[in-house]
Amino acid sequence: MTDVAATPPALARVVTQLSSGVSSLGRDAAEVRGLLDDTQQVVTDQIKAMDALGTELESVQNAQDSIHRCTDQTRQTVARARDVLNQMGTEVADIVNTLHQVSQVASDITGIALQTRLVAFNASVEAKRAGESGRGFGVVADAVKDLAGRVEASSKAIMGTISRLDARVAAFAAELSASGNAAARSSVHQAFAEVESDVARIGEAAKSSLNTTQALGQRVQGLSQDVQKAMHNMDAAFACSDRFLRLSEDMIAQIAGAGVQVQDSFYIEAVQRTAEDISAALEQALASGALSPADLFDEDYRLIPGTQPQQFTAAFTALADRLFPALQEPVLSLDKKVVFCIAVDRNGYVPTHNRQYCQPQRSGDVAWNTAHSRYRRIFNDRTGLASARNTKPFLLQTYRRDMGGGNFVLLKEAAAPITVQGRHWGGLRLAFHF
């Protein structure tokens, strides 16, 4: 690259100041993009919560509708039971009337028996007066008198039983009667009235709750529409921040590409030099038969069971473990701002990360794994794929790096392509602090 001193001093100062300002613009744009990412996540969570709440409210409304239908059915059932009860009261009243008729008949029988006894008594007296000739008639008269006495006794017993039964049936009829004031109404009817009152209160409460839920549902629907609108505005803001970010990255790239030394030139030269070394090492591995071209360009990533975040292996992973550390690790010591230097294939797969990020995963500790077990993973986000698939001499990007547990680090990254025997294999990513 051409040194700034080779250009007119005034222009050199302007370019240097411009590149510094553009770099700051890129940093601000990356921070805005990160804040938009956070806000979008919050909005997305709110949309999910709204959808879940809407579903719950719909379930509540369905349940309240069921309660309303059940209370209507209960009221109808109580009304039918009351009608049956009233009908029973009428039937019992008919029984009382019949018992009264039976009692009257029994009373008539008692009267007839009494008269029969009197007639038999008179006949017996006359038979005695007749002497021997009236003896047979007297026997008959005595038998009739005795029979009449038994009939009278039976009739009185029937009348007594009927009287007691009549009192009991009359009391039962009074219990079943729905007429009269509240104090005199039967306990059965009072129980039915209490049931009807309680059912009515349940129905009113369900209706009131249903109205409240419907109003809340409408409010939630309105809020959901507002959130959707906010998400649409977020998309527009994302597009705007991306344009700012790309503009700053493109301007720095154009300035550096013109041969002018900028703040990032040191990292650009380092990543290009190391990418060439890795390309040479891979070509030598192919030439020696260490692996075949098909293995080197393998995309059949095999999941490592039980890993979270997921890790994978490929046909070239073992070779990368042997070759890459010796070329990647020295870059970390070039400058204290360097965060990592890794080779990735064109799909963003990292076979071998820097040693400090190649820690074995801890079972169940996703946040720790995200920060410390970054090897064997596929980083196919916007930044990762852009660096992996870049075929220009270099690419500059600014972004937030997810370190797990809600922690992010703002970085700038220089990337250079890795080619093997004229074929694009992937890219070398060199990330550094501002």
- pLDDT level of residue 81 (50, 70, 90 thresholds): confident
For the chain, domain boundaries: 60-207, 264-434
Check residue 2 and give its pLDDT. 43
Helix (H, G, I), strand (E, B) or coil at 428: strand
Chain-centroid distance of CA 171 in Å reads 59
Rounded Cα distance between 411 and 402, Å, is: 10
Query: Are the beta carbons of 1 and 267 closer than 8 angstroms?
Result: no
Would you place residue 5 in the very low, low, confident or very high pLDDT band (cuts 50, 70, 90)? Answer: very low
Identity at 17, one-letter amino acid code: Q
Residue with the larger pLDDT of the pair 271 and 199? 271
Task: Note the pLDDT of residue 406.
Answer: 66
Cβ proximity of 409 and 403 under 8 Å: yes
**pLDDT greater at residue 11 or residue 330:** 330
The candidate with the shortest Cα–Cα distance to 409, out of 400, 419, 418, is 400
60-207 placed in CATH 1.20.1260.10: no
Residue 97 binned pLDDT confidence (cut-offs 50, 70, 90): confident
Question: Is pLDDT larger for residue 377 or for residue 5?
Answer: 377
User: Mean pLDDT across the stretch 60-84?
Assistant: 72
Say what the pLDDT of residue 38 is. Answer: 65
Q: What is the pLDDT of residues 356-411, one digit of tens each?
A: 999 999 999 999 999 899 999 999 988 899 999 999 999 988 887 766 566 777 88
Give me the pLDDT at residue 1, please: 44
CATH tag, 264-434: 3.30.450.20
357 in Cβ contact with 379 (< 8 Å)? no
Count of CB atoms situated within 10 Å of the CB of 110: 18
**CB-side exposure of 237: number of CA atoms within 13 Å?**
18
The pLDDT value recorded for residue 249 is 63
Mean pLDDT along residues 272-276:
97
More confident residue, 140 or 333: 333
Dihedral over Cα of 190, 196, 198, 200: its sign = negative
Amino acid at 277: D
- φ, ψ of residue 403 to 5 degrees: the values are -100, 5
Determine the longest span between alpha carbons in the chain, in angstroms: 180
Percent of the chain at pLDDT exceeding 70:
53
pLDDT of residue 184: 47
pLDDT value, residue 167: 72
pLDDT tops 90 at residue 306: yes
Q: Cβ of 204: how many Cβ atoms within 10 Å?
A: 12
pTM: 0.55
Residue 62 is predicted with a pLDDT of: 73
Length of the chain: 434
Residue 158 confidence (pLDDT)? 72
Average pLDDT over residues 428-433: 95
**Mean local confidence (pLDDT), 166-173:** 68
Is the bond into 309 cis (omega within 30 degrees of 0)? Answer: yes
The more confident residue out of 258 and 320 is 320
- Burial string for 368-379 (b: 16+ CB within 10 Å, else e) reads ebbbbbbbbbbb
Query: pLDDT by residue (tens digit) across 210-224?
Result: 677 667 667 767 776
> Which of 2-11, 270-279, 316-325 comes out lowest in average pLDDT?
2-11
> Which position has the higher pLDDT, 177 or 6?
177
Q: Is the pLDDT of residue 434 over 70?
A: yes
Q: What is the pLDDT of residues 249-262, one digit of tens each?
A: 666 666 666 666 67
Kindly tell me if the per-residue pLDDT of 328 is higher than 80: yes
Which carries the bigger pLDDT value, residue 12 or residue 36?
A: 36
Residue 382, C-beta contacts closer than 8 angstroms, at least 6 positions apart: 399
Bigger pLDDT: 142 vs 14: 142
Integer Cα distance of 322 and 281 in angstroms: 11
Average pLDDT estimate for 136-143: 65
Helix (H, G, I), strand (E, B) or coil at 353: coil
**Does the pLDDT of residue 235 top 50, yes or no?**
yes
